[in-house]
Amino acid sequence: MTSIADLRKSYERAELDESASHSDPLQQFDQWLQEAIASEVPEPNAMTVATVASNLRPSTRVVLIKGYDAQGITWYSNYESRKGQELAGNPFAALQFHWVELERVVRIEGVVERVSAEESDAYFHTRPLDSRIGAWASPQSQVIAGRSVLVANAAKYGARFLLQPPRPPHWGGYRLKPDRWEFWQGRKSRLHDRLRYTLAADGQWVRERLAP
Ligand SMILES: Cc1cc2nc3c(=O)[nH]c(=O)nc-3n(C[C@H](O)[C@H](O)[C@H](O)COP(=O)(O)O)c2cc1C
C-alpha cells in the first residue's frame, strides 16, 4: 500500500508569466475559469468559502459561483446557515478554486455583502422547482432529528407553494468584493508560479510574484 507521504506529482502542464498574464485580475480569472470549463474539469464552478466566527475560529465549505464582474464574486446560500451567521458578524472572507487537472489554484480575499433582494429574487426564480422547494425545506446548518424532517418539510412546502414558491427571506446571494487575488500555477521541482494582485489606495492593481 502506498504511504500518503509518498504521494507526489510533478506539475508540468503550463506556466504563468507576468508578460502573458492580464494586468486586471478579473480578466485573468475569467480566462482561467473559461479554460477550466472548456477543459471539462469536474465542477469547475465549485469554490471553497472561508469565513471566521466571532471567536476567531475559521471554517470552510464548498459553494457554486453564480456570477463574477467588477462588483465581485457571487454565490447563493442560506443567510441563517453557519456561514451566514459568521458573515453577519465578520464580513471578511476568502475564496479558493482548485482546478486539479489544470494544476491551478485561485485565491480571492475581500469583504462580503448580500446582493439586493431583486437580484436574489431573479436568480431564485431561475432555479429548478425542487431546488426552490429545497431552500424552504432545509434549515441549513441546524441539527435535525433525521432525514425524514427534510422529506416532510419538502412535502409541506411543495403542497403550500405548488409551482410558485417565493424566495425564502432567509435565502439569497452574497457578493465578495476582492481586494486581493492570487493565481497559482504548478511547475516542475516545486518552483511554482504565484502572481498576487493587491488593490492599492489609488484603485490600481499591484501585481507581484510570490515565492512558491
Ligand atoms: C460542489 C458543491 C456545491 C455546493 N454549492 C452550495 C451552494 O451554492 N450554496 C450553499 O449554500 N451550499 C452549497 N453546498 C453545500 C455546502 O458545502 C455546505 O454544506 C452548506 O452550505 C452548509 O455550510 P455551513 O454550515 O458552513 O453554512 C455545496 C456543496 C458542494 C459539495
Residue 62 CB–ligand 1 contact under 6 Å: yes
Give me the chain's average pLDDT, please.
Answer: 97
Phi/psi at 54 (5° precision): -65, -20
Residue 85 CB–ligand 1 contact under 6 Å: no
User: What digits encode the pLDDT tens for the residues 52-110?
Assistant: 999 999 999 999 999 999 999 999 999 999 999 999 999 999 999 999 999 999 999 99
Catalytic residue, chosen from 190, 194, 196, 209, is 190
Q: Look at residue 2 in the predicted model and tell me its pLDDT.
A: 84
* Strand spans (E) along the chain: 46-52, 58-64, 67-69, 72-78, 92-99, 104-114, 171-185, 193-199, 205-209
Residue 32 CB–ligand 1 contact under 6 Å: no
On whether the CB atoms of residues 193 and 16 are closer than 8 A, the answer is yes
Q: Which grid coordinates are listed for 148? A: 425524514
- Which domains are seen in the chain, by residue range? 11-125+170-209 (2.30.110.10), 129-166 (no CATH)
